[in-house]
Amino acid sequence: MLFAKQQLLTALAAELEKLQPGAGVRAAFESPKVAAHGDLACTAAMQLAKALKQNPKQLSETLRSALLSNPAFEHWVEAIDIAGPGFINIRLKDLAKQAVVHEVLQAADQFGVQEAQPNKVLVEFVSANPTGPLHVGHGRQAALGDAICNLLATQGQQVYREFYYNDAGVQIGTLASSTQLRALGFKPGDVQWPSGEKAAAYNGDYIQDIANDFLAKQTVRADDREFTASGDVNDLDGMRQFAVAYLRHEQDLDLKAFEVQFDNYYLESSLYTSGKVDAAVQKLRDAGKTYEQDGALWLKSTDYGDDKDRVMRKSDGSYTYFVPDVAYHIAKWERGFTRVVNIQGTDHHGTIARVRAGLQAAGVGIPEGYPDYVLHTMVRVVRGGQEVKISKRAGSYVTLRDLIEWTSKDAVRFFLLSRKPDTEYIFDIDLALAQNNDNPVYYVQYAHARICSVLAAWGGDQTSLTQADLSPLQSPQAHALMLALAKYPEMLTSAARDFAPHDVSFYLRDLASQYHSYYDAERILVDDIALKTARLALVAATAQVLKNGLKVLGVSAPSKM
């Protein structure tokens, strides 16, 4: 059907050009809101009517007549109807709809994947400071980032995954001092332990674990570092390095359990030691985009749409937190990444304007709107109708590892990708464990497993289905299922463009629904060999697309449940 649709689109563009030069770019098909109205819809006539000073319905009739005599439409289209003020509804011949089955089976896991592109895309996500376990918000970011990477890869883009973290600064100092207090035998609640709403201390039990291993002179290894503890309770710097390595290792375990991998870990400290922060500030000064006031250095960010100018260097000589961000993104650009996507929490919204302003002011050729941002809200966790707020291990929040252990990696990924990133999400533990149609990941995985059981019962060579005669696929349920399969490539392209992996989860739920309806309406393993083969080909193609879509989300496609 993809080939048929492309031929029809080319023919539509040609006919629109005849009506008005340049109108071919308006060639597009939509899905009718009501299936009974047809398989494809076109609104181009209504869009052109005003410019051509014609009645939209009459123009639709003119376009309809032209399309009916076009060879591509003669071959693939059964009927064209005009509805309402000028909607053109197109009903495809069976062979057009059936073609998608062979297209899926022949392309297999490459169905919907576009040709390789030369451009490189860097996606930065998770980027959690190594001061504690990953929480469920980090989990949402990990799921989003990984799925967006997978989506971009389906469009042929070269994707590079990066984790950026602060390995210095006040928070790391607090981590070291908290570990030292634990090593000295103190704990939260003791007089010696910092207290109060803004007390500089981490209270989770994991701090005691770090202190114990430090005193035992353990060696910890993370993906990007290794450190052996001295065991000296007065070695605060060694304790800091050990604690960072320990928690990086813990985060690696969390990410491994979530099946997320990174190509690179980028240290904030390297921006200072390499001189990139000072170089970025100098670029801004040389460009005349800074000024001194009240002992501080300011960026003229209002020149680039920010609501006020921003302090870059405070009166005490330290830089504000957006300055290394500017240096980091200049480094991304210099590393050849002409496109960058940052996945961050909504609390980072305020940094977008000032980072982009700094990049524009630096005058290094970075285009406006660089980088792209995807902001997500936090996640609330509910069990038994009650919100779960605290993990004993973390001290004050539910960790990603908690969520995986309570449910599963597949459930966590699918659930966290089932809503738009900027909408609040409530993760229902009980629903994630339910084995029924109310559980969306179960519903989709069960559709795949159900097909696998049918194919196993048949026991034939599935490669033979790529040559199956599909003409017996005539029922409304079969047609609906084939149309759903044909939507997959366009859905991928749209989801990748909009950084919207939730579109994939919506699509998979719809495809699973179409399959369950088809399965309930038609028996597959019938005695008629031609009919059975055609139906087997259809469901095998459905299983393939379900598997492909689940892979984009990082979710498994089980053959048994």
User: Tens digit of pLDDT for each residue in 257-314?
Assistant: 999 999 999 999 899 999 999 999 999 999 999 999 999 999 999 999 888 999 999 9
Indicate the fold that domain 2-92 takes in CATH.
Gyrase A; domain 2 (3.30.1360)
Q: Mention every residue, 6+ apart, whose C-beta is less than 8 A from residue 474.
A: 94
In this prediction the pTM is 0.90
| % of the chain residues with pLDDT over 70 | 99
Confidence band for 391, pLDDT divided at 50, 70 and 90: low
More confidently predicted of 168 and 104: 104
When pLDDT is averaged across residues 230-239 and rounded to a whole number, the result is 96
Confidence band for 347, pLDDT divided at 50, 70 and 90: confident
User: Would you give the distance in Å from CA 167 to the centre of its chain?
Assistant: 26
The CA–CA distances, whole Å, from 384 to 82, 147, 433 equal 53, 29, 12
Q: Which long-range contacts (CB under 8 A, 24 or more apart) does 414-417 make?
A: 414/440, 414/441, 414/444, 414/505, 414/553, 414/555, 415/440, 415/441, 416/139, 416/140, 416/143, 416/144, 416/379, 417/143, 417/144, 417/147, 417/501, 417/502, 417/504, 417/505, 417/553
More confidently predicted of 197 and 507: 507
User: Would you give the distance in Å from CA 281 to the centre of its chain?
Assistant: 33
Rounded distance, CA 482 to CA 486, Å?
A: 6
Q: Mention every residue, 6+ apart, whose C-beta is less than 8 A from residue 196.
A: none
Tokens of 138: 């980090």
Alpha helices in 184-303 (DSSP H): 205-215, 236-257, 268-273, 276-286
Contact 442, 58 (CB under 8 A): no
Domain span(s) for CATH 1.10.730.10 in the chain: 437-553
Q: Mention every residue, 6+ apart, whose C-beta is less than 8 A from residue 119.
A: 157, 158, 338, 339
**pLDDT tens, 435-448?**
999 999 999 999 99
Q: What are phi and psi of 375, to 5 degrees?
A: -105, 140
Confidence band for 395, pLDDT divided at 50, 70 and 90: low
Rounded distance, CA 290 to CA 271, Å?
A: 20
The CA–CA distances, whole Å, from 435 to 42, 346, 502 equal 41, 33, 22
Confidence band for 355, pLDDT divided at 50, 70 and 90: very high
When pLDDT is averaged across residues 74-100 and rounded to a whole number, the result is 90
Rounded distance, CA 341 to CA 121, Å?
A: 8
Domain span(s) for CATH 3.30.1360.70 in the chain: 2-92
Rounded distance, CA 278 to CA 234, Å?
A: 33
Q: Which amino acid type is present at position 106?
A: Q
pLDDT for 143: 97
Q: What are phi and psi of 367, to 5 degrees?
A: -75, 160
Using alpha carbons, select from 82, 42, 43, 47 the residue that is nearest to residue 61: 82
Contact 539, 452 (CB under 8 A): no
Class of domain 437-553: mainly alpha
Mean pLDDT of the chain: 93
pLDDT for 349: 87
